[in-house]
Structure 1
């Protein structure tokens, strides 16, 4: 952050809000059919954003059933990030997140980090999809949580409770039924109708879609429905509904092996050194299960091999450049050798980048034979770089603290946090687990109550010894109305955090189990049959993968099924679509990308080497390609940068041999 930017940030954080900023949204939005309410953004917002200046957050009311526009409504939470340009393009980008579940609106500063490359000339909109996180919190099952606080506490402090997830699902579905919530309408069809409604409410006539993972499935449904205004769509990590994805999930673990090792088979030198390396790699899993190889750090078995190969990328966005060493590793393990695996276990492979630290840079400079005077300049530059790093970290932390302090001052929340901390300590100090669980449940039940010091005093009197209860009541009586409201706000936050620990995949199940497992489209039996028919994985891995999905299919048996008309028919569209796919994606198979756009008339397919799920998290090349596409969706797209991402292969003599793209 430059000095001018720091000064502007301080001025913005401490100055009066601009009454003209987002005035249309503050007045209720652009479309009276879908009213907008502006709300404070979830902190931390600074240092990357300023609530009400660079970003505005809020909710859009849309029909719960778009077939009944006069009926009840559901609230879709959004963040709108203003373009950096003073003269932005009129067509923003709306991000459709994955899961469905684990929404994005609460991570204000983190979410926009993925899309800064598209923000120079366009606004970015992020939403939590219906039934997910902050969109329709009435879907949360707090009564079920209260009934299961004992198993929840046990699973958090000791071994997991095997039946907890299924017990929670059963209770939650019953609770939703009792509250009269038709969760069959938490589906992709209704979700897709929310998208143009939100964009209309925010005042956009034209827009671009960026979907990742389930967001690609949602984008494909929006394209199927073909509402007006869609300028282009990017689908990144593809999950088309016209494939039985849950019956084909084994492909997301076999495809990375094939796509990253087939270049070796196509290259004469590599193929001569490692003939049939793809099949040999699959066979090695079975061999190591029957007879592990003893390595320097212990047995090298099927689990170690799976970790090395499968965790080249992770769902968190981590990346390990182990691909060049896999063929030699396979050859060694076939011969009972573990050199490559030992180096991996010791953290020596993959090698760290040469520019990873000041020490390595200085060593490289010395190795280049620089003079003493030149080395003095190198040292000065390294010292300046370290000062810059420390200064940037300091500015970031200070900006977040300033924002937090100003927020606390505005809400007069200091005493509220003191009370909440004292109450938490009192609950922890209760000697009996049953008493702690009862107190926590009473505390969480306050979520449904109006802020009141009497309610806090009653909770204290019911659950604590007289001296502790008196101390808590004394604090409660000191809270003014704003502080009381903050205490009950903290209760709601704690409720959500506790639900999140046990809700797990419930939001995903709501969608997948109701629409993707209807009429046998996906099943554990079909999973086994398709995997066996393909033949890539041997019997041991087939059984391990089937067992890994057993709990998913078992959970889905608890949900009523709601078949969707045309849901599994291949989609068609004339909208320009860019299909982005990572070769190492272990969540949505790279081969699904081409199948997603098979009947799209203006589709471009891009496969990014050494990239995982959501290519823009792994590659500047992917970010550049997506930015160019959004600028000119019908123009000629230059994707040549991906040719430089193919890594070489290590030959048996230790030399690196380049591979063609």
Structure 2
């Protein structure tokens, strides 16, 4: 942040609320059929946003069944991020998230981070889809969670088979929801699609654009099928068309990245001569290693090791490893029992680390250039200033979040107990992996049965957290008086949200997948086995291993009644402008599904992005620029030439790098 931005931030955080800011929403929204209730945004909002000034959050009441508008209601949670322009375009972009067991409204800063490239001229709206996270608070199975989460956590951490436990958990949760009078048959994509135009009407927009990722593409395609008024254009990124039996084709999400990323080698004469039939040989290598693993200096190289290297070039968090150039030589070596390249990959020596601009590197470069003492003194002054700037920016960010939290607490008369509980929950959600979250979740829930004690809170923190997070939380715990400690333990008994996120996410996914996608044999393990065998890319050993990917659905889905839409699996059509974006390395939704998604769309463009995974805008500025250009002018000629620069070269047997065609 510049000093001017810091001054403006403090002024905005401490100023009286602007009565004109979001006045229509604060007054109940633009459409009385769908009332809006404004609520504080999930913290931390600062330093990237200012609640009530640059972003506003809340809920929109819509019919639980849009065909019975006078019946029960459900609240759809939203964030509305104002465009940066003082003269914005009237058609915003609404983001439809994936999962669907993974909402977005509680992640204020992270969500808009994906869409800043579209925000220059347009508002951005994010929602939690019905039945998911903040759009489903009444659907939390607290009794079931309280009874079974400890067992679920223990089983997962020990790697135990949980088939019966999962069935018990799901069946009891469904019974709990039924006892509340919740008709889960209405938690479906068709009703979800009807929510979107209702949300946009409530927020006051006559025209809008859609950006769907993963399940959000399926939802977008259903909205296009329904064709409500107001849709200007749509981007579908990481496609999951409902007219494909995707759960029975999930193997293709792991074969397509191999085929798509090795196809340029097959097309290039030099590469093809060096590595003939490299795609088929790569698939065959999995079978070879299954029968005879290769011994390397760090252990055996088996199919799982190869899978980890090739399949995990990208992941759903947006991380990326530039392994593709080395795959043909790695495969060739492993066929000969040589582990040189794969050992370098596993050790982190490949791909080479990108050049970094550390103080040490800059100082070494300056010395190597033969600068004089006076010139080196200026270099040292610059490096010192850079270090202070980095420290200052971190301090500003942290202080802004603390100021925002303090002001928010004052405004809501929040006690120190609530602040501690909120920050503890946020810290648990921020832990890097599921096992860590479940481990602290188990101990967190066990505190329900303990006598209130600040020392027990500190033990929990120091057992599972480190660094500044642990220090800040422990310091806050020591500030709690006896009454506040008691209140924290009450909140622990009442609030399981942070500890059950992973379990609830699976349940939310089952609500959609089991009722829609696993109806009438459209998806099944038997169909999975038949389709993967008919395709023939994967050999028998891998076919048997990969089919386990649908095992959890085979366990869960018999517990659900089936409620597919009548023409759910028929190919959709639309005349709206649609941009289909797909990543070559996507292991969640196969890149080849993008063409199939728009096969009957009359105004569609398809872009395949090399070296990109699920949700292309996570991986390159090129993808962001293409989507921004499309939203700006959906009917115009789209320049996609930047994708050609993303194609990586290939390493030839002599160690040289050879460029490949796009």
Note if contact 2:149-2:500 (Cα within 8 Å) is conserved in structure 1.
no
Q: Once the 2 structures are TM-superposed, how far is the Cα of residue 381 of structure 1 from its aligned partner?
A: 4.3
Q: 1:578 to 1:415 in 2, by over 3 A?
A: closer
Cα deviation per residue 1:254-290 (whole Å; 9 max; x = unaligned)?
0000000010010000011100000000000111111
SS at match of 2:133: coil
Mapped contact 1:149–1:441 kept (Cα < 8 A): no
Cα distance, 1:501 vs structure 2: 4.2
Output the CA distance in 2 between the equivalents of 1:66 and 1:631.
32
Per the alignment, residue 521 of structure 1 pairs with 522
Pair 1:380–1:326, CA change in 2 (3 A)? farther
Size of the aligned set, in residue pairs, is 615
Match of 1:612 in 2: 613
- In structure 2, what is the equivalent of residue 143 of structure 1? 143
TM-aligned CA distance change 1:76 to 1:24, over 3 Å: same
User: CA 1:370–1:29 in 2, change beyond 3 Å: closer, same or farther?
Assistant: farther
Contact 1:92 1:206 in 2 (8 A): yes
Taking structure 2 as the reference length, the TM-score comes to 0.88
Name the structure 1 match of 2:448. Answer: 440
User: C-alpha deviations, 1:348-406, integer Å up to 9, x for none?
Assistant: 11111113534445556666x46447666655544443333222212111111111222
Structure 1 counterpart of 2:428: none
Pairwise CA distance, 1:127: 0.1
Uncovered stretches (5+) of structure 2, i.e. residues with no partner: 426-441, 452-480
For the residue of structure 2 that corresponds to 1:51, the secondary structure is coil
2:276 is paired with a residue whose SS is coil
Q: CA distance change for structure 1 residues 415 and 594 in 2, over 3 Å: closer, same or farther?
A: closer
**Secondary structure class of the residue paired with 1:134:** helix
Residues 533-569 of structure 1: per-residue CA shift (max 9 Å, x gap): 0000011110000123212222112111112111111
Aligned residue in 2 for 1:261: 262
Secondary structure at the counterpart of residue 581 of structure 2: strand
Partner of 1:446: none
Shift of 1:149: 4.3
Deviates more, 1:27-36 or 1:148-157: 148-157
Q: 2:159 and 2:562 mapped to 1: Cα distance?
A: 33
Question: Measured at CA, do residues 504 and 165 of structure 1 come closer, stay the same or move farther in structure 2, by a change above 3 Å?
Answer: farther
Question: What residue number does 1:469 align with?
Answer: none
Describe the shift of the 1:417–1:106 C-alpha distance in structure 2 as closer, same or farther (beyond 3 A).
closer
Deviation digits for residues 413-445 of structure 1 (CA, Å, limit 9, x no counterpart): 344359979x99xxxxxxxxx9997872899xx
Could you tell me how far apart the structure 2 residues matched to 1:150 and 1:649 are? 49
Counterpart of 2:207? Answer: 206
Q: Does 1:38 align with 2:57?
A: no
Counterparts of 1:509 and 1:74 in 2: how far apart (Å)? Answer: 19
Report the CA distance between 1:309 and its aligned residue.
Answer: 0.2
Contact persistence 1:146–1:441 (CA under 8 A): no
Contact 2:445 2:492 in 1 (8 A): no
The Cα offsets for residues 55-101 of structure 1, whole Å up to 9 and x where unpaired, read as 00000000000000111110000000000001110000000000001
2:75 aligned partner: 75
Q: Which residue in 2 is equivalent to 1:406?
A: 407
TM superposition shift of 1:475: 4.2
Q: Is the 8 A contact 1:355 1:361 kept in 2?
A: no
Q: Contact 1:417 / 1:487 at 8 angstroms: preserved in 2?
A: no
Q: Which moved more, 1:317-326 or 1:350-359?
A: 350-359
* 3-state SS in 2 of match to 1:505: helix
RMSD of aligned Cα (Å): 2.6
Give 1:418-429 correspondences, 5 Å limit.
none
Task: Decide whether aligned partners of structure 1 residues 20 and 352 sit closer, same or farther in structure 2, where only a CA change above 3 A counts.
Answer: same
Query: Is the CA contact 1:140–1:499 (under 8 Å) kept in the aligned structure 2?
Result: no
Q: Which residue of 2 aligns with 1:11?
A: 11
Cα separation, 2, equivalents of 1:159 and 1:613: 27
Corresponding residue number in structure 1 for 2:238: 237
Question: Match for residue 449 of structure 1?
Answer: none
**Counterpart-to-counterpart distance in 1, 2:385 and 2:148:** 55
Structure 2 partner of 1:453: none
TM-score by length of 1: 0.88
Q: Determine the structure 2 residue equivalent to 1:654.
A: 655
- 8 Å Cα contact 2:253-2:591 kept in structure 1: yes
CA–CA distance in structure 1, aligned partners of residues 656 and 359 of structure 2: 27
The aligned runs of 1:578-617 (5 Å cut-off) are 578-617=579-618
**3-state SS of 1:571 partner:** coil
**In 2, distance between residues paired with 1:11 and 1:514?**
50
Greater mean alpha carbon deviation, residues 384-393 or residues 94-103: 384-393
In the superposition, relative to structure 1, how do residues 379 and 294 fare at CA in structure 2: closer, same or farther (>3 Å)? farther
User: Structure 1: where are the runs of 5+ without partners?
Assistant: 425-433, 444-473
Does residue 1:323 correspond to 2:327, yes or no?
A: no
Task: Quote how far apart the aligned CAs of 1:491 are.
Answer: 5.5
Aligned to 1:115, the other structure's residue is in SS state: helix
For the Cα contact (< 8 Å) 2:444–2:499, is it kept in 1?
Answer: no
SS of 2:545 mapped into structure 1? helix
Deviation at 1:147, TM superposition (A): 2.5
Q: Which residue of 2 aligns with 1:574?
A: 575
What secondary structure is seen at the aligned counterpart in 1 of 2:257?
A: helix
Looking at structure 2, the residues matched to 593 and 556 of structure 1 have their Cα atoms a distance apart, in angstroms, of 27
Q: 1:364 to 1:413 in 2, by over 3 A?
A: same
Please give the alpha-carbon distance, in whole angstroms, between the structure 2 residues aligned to 1:58 and 1:80: 9
SS of aligned partner of 1:114:
helix
Aligned to 1:396: 397
Cα deviations by residue, 1:303-340 (Å, 9 ceiling, x for unpaired): 11000001100111110000000001001111111111
Determine the C-alpha separation between the residues in 2 that align with 1:649 and 1:375. 41
SS at 2:305 equivalent: helix
Q: Structure 1 stretch 560-569 or stretch 127-136: which is displaced more?
A: 560-569
Partner of 1:302: 303
- Give CA deviations for 1:482-534 in whole Å, capped at 9, x if unaligned: x97x9876755x32223324324111110011011111111111100000000
Q: 1: CA distance between counterparts of 2:48 and 2:213? A: 23
- Listed as ranges, the matches of 1:23-172 within 5 Å are 23-152=23-152, 154-155=154-155, 160=160, 162=162, 163-172=164-173
Contact residue 293 and residue 336 of structure 1 kept, 8 A: yes
1:418-497 alignment to 2 at 5 Å?
A: 440=448, 475-476=482-483, 492=494, 494-497=495-498
Number of the residue aligned with 1:348: 349
- Distance of aligned partners of 1:364 and 1:435 in 2 relative to their CA distance in 1, 3 Å threshold: closer
Say if 2:101 and 2:504, in contact at 8 Å, map to a contact too.
no
Residues 187 and 515 of structure 1 are in contact (CA less than 8 Å); yes or no, is this contact kept in structure 2? yes
Residue pair 2:448, 2:493 contacting (<8 A) in 1 also = no
